[in-house]
Structure 1
Amino acid sequence: MLHDSQPPVSDDADDPRPASDSADGPASFLASYLARIGLGGAPAPTLEGLAALQAAHIAAIPFESFDALTGEGVDIGAEAVAAKLIGRRRGGYCFEQNSLFLRALLALGFDAEGLIGRVRWMLPGDAPATPRTHMTVRVRLGGRPWLADVGFGSAVPPQPLALDRPGAAQPTRHETYRITPQPGGYRVAAEIAGEWRTLYDLEEAAAPAIDYEVGNWYTSQHPDSHFRHQLIAARTTAVARHGLRDNRLTIRRADGRTEQRYLSADGIEAALRDIFLLTPEPGWRRAIERAATAEIAG
């Protein structure tokens, strides 16, 4: 087991941090978004274009929930999300990530809509229903529905998943996924360490905006939300998944190698900068120091 005496190093040859563009106004949104994720041009509304956007987004914009952890609250209005994730070069969680992604897809001419679901990750099969706190995107291409998700942390699907292949294994550059129909929606699972683990249950019907507002309130404000108590960050590239949970940094490489290291407060800040492409803010330090002393089970 590695410790933070070894400075964390990004696996990417290139750091996808282009110069920031203003996200003010609809005319500049798409150009700013594409620059933020490191794409020089607008992909066509095809499966290949969708896959390119999804891979670039999760590599460039990290999953993080500092605003919930520090009590700042999370505004999921379109302009607030763009100002934060594009203008301020922050990351965010599912309601921010996938709403930004959906906005970009629509601007590019994709037939896309948001879905909402219940997270089942790390829960036993007989656990009671959870709140609807996960947003994803459904994209229709040539009459076929695809799931595109850029906001599920260290288990985020790295490419689009077909929604019309019930129960079929769908390999990706990282894990293999499967989507199983169930009454009123879908169950999404990933094969991890030889075991199928449910990520979330999705509702088939497109969700109204109020459902995202309610889910976001719960996720960012409710005392039972783990985002209020744990420092969480994640970033997925073509070669590795990087996950930070309090003081534990885990790197799961696409070739199957896994390593962990436990970080001091300064080590956490270094990882946020070097791996998760975030500039630590002064208001984060207290949460970082708490995270550095955490004891993590499992």
Structure 2
Amino acid sequence: MIRQTGEDNMPHDASYPHADAAPRIDLPRYLARIGYDGPLAPTLEALAALQAAHIAAIAFEAIDVLTGAGVDIGAEAVDAKLIGARRGGYCFEQNGLFLRVLQALGFAAEGLIGRVRWMLADDAPPTSRTHMVVRVTLDRRPWLVDVGFGASVPPAPLAMDSPAPQTTPHETYRIVRRGDAWQVSALLGEDWATLYLIDDAPPPAVDYELGNWYTSTHPDSHFRHQLIAARTTAEARYGLRDNRLSIRFADGRTERRYLSADEIEAVLTSIFLLPVRPHWRPAIERAAVAEVSIPA
């Protein structure tokens, strides 16, 4: 079995959770998990292909928060869950894993952290630092890479050195410098909607731990109250919010419908590729009767 170790292939980056433990990543096992057999050299083309394969294979989900199981973002726990158990996860798990993969492959990659602003007014109060992303530098050009932002995750690397709109297989995005932060936005119709504000400097590991603690335990975290899952492929974005399933096709078509508890369980398996566990059933049944409106 081939293993890439932190000592041999990955710089000791204090911005990564538990960096002092030099976490390993089993690259062949990860690549098999995402179904990727393409080029691995640290190029933009390989980066984009790896990102697309990851978000298509590993669903965004936070079911362990909803069931009270908790979320461990240590490398061993993340690998056991997302690779070994074929589960999904949220940003600290997804981007933490992807960061280690990229570093093991020789990419100049580092973690960043920021504040989610999705669906908030511009003048809304500041939010906590609860979103992790990855910055990759290729030929001295910085690229934002994110595999952990639900149904609106950027599906391709985004250049951070230009405020110009950037088209992707799904939405158009842009990154604008705002003081000491980066504002990442998506074009929805004719309006730009901010996804998040990302700090420029890589944070210490404790900031990820604190963000994960808040996201998984604080009463205001929406993951504690809603069943949420998402997956993005080249053809469509799939999103589940309690009992509402939304499908946004790349050609502009959309489908939305309500699901029963049995239907929720079925789509978690068939669409989101998750191995449904018996102890999820109470959360699924609560989601089935939740009042979630379908927008016009």
Provide TM-score, normalisation by structure 2. 0.91
Q: Within 5 A, what are the aligned runs for 1:211-230?
A: 211-230=207-226
Counterpart check, 1:196 vs 2:192: yes
Deviation of 1:192 after TM superposition, in Å, equals 1.4
**1:39 is the counterpart of 2:36:** yes
Alignment of 1:84-233 (within 5 A): 84-166=81-163, 168-233=164-229
Paired residue for 1:272? Answer: 268
Q: CA deviation at 1:51?
A: 0.1
Does the CA contact (< 8 Å) of 2:2 and 2:27 recur in 1? no
SS in 2 for 1:139: strand
The reply on whether 1:283 has 2:279 as its aligned counterpart is yes
The corresponding residue for 2:241 is 245
CA separation in 2, counterparts of 1:222 and 1:22? 39
Equivalent position amino acid for 2:36 in 1: L
Q: Which whole-Å CA distance do the structure 2 matches of 1:207 and 1:174 have between them?
A: 30
Larger relative contact order (C-alpha < 8 A, sep ≥ 6)? 1
Within 1, Cα distance between the matches of 2:40 and 2:140? Answer: 19
Question: Contact 1:23–1:32 at 8 Å: present in 2 too?
Answer: no
Within 2, Cα distance between the matches of 1:55 and 1:24? 22
Residue of structure 1 equivalent to 2:9: none
The one-letter amino acid paired with 2:152 is: A
* Alpha-carbon distance in structure 2 between the residues aligned to 1:261 and 1:97: 28
CA RMSD, Structure 1 to Structure 2 (Å): 1.7
Provide the rounded CA distance (Å) in 2 between the counterparts of 1:148 and 1:231.
Answer: 25
Deviations 1:192-242 (A, max 9, x none): 133210000000001111000000000000011000000000000001000
Q: Distance in 1 between matches of 2:130 and 2:70?
A: 15
1:151 alignment partner AA: G
Between the aligned partners of 2:107 and 2:4, the Cα distance in structure 1 is: 22
Shift, 1:283, TM fit: 1.1
Give the direction of change, closer, same or farther, for the CA distance of 1:292–1:22 in structure 2 (3 Å limit).
farther
**Shift, 1:23, TM fit:** 9.3
Q: Structure 2: which amino acid aligns with 1:219? A: T
Structure 1: give runs of 5+ residues left out of the alignment. 1-20
Report the Cα distance in structure 2 between the residues aligned to 1:43 and 1:130, rounded to whole angstroms: 37
Question: C-alpha displacement at 1:292, in angstroms?
Answer: 0.3
Query: Which amino acid in the other structure matches residue 231 of structure 1?
Result: L
> Take 2:32 and 2:96, find their aligned partners in 1: how far apart are those partners?
17
Could you tell me which of 68, 76, 79 is aligned with 1:79?
76
Work out whether residues 171 and 186 of structure 2, in 8 Å CA contact, stay in contact via their aligned partners in 1.
Answer: yes
Aligned-partner Cα distance in 1 for 2:45–2:118:
29
Aligned residue pair count: 277
DSSP-derived class of the 2:26 partner: helix
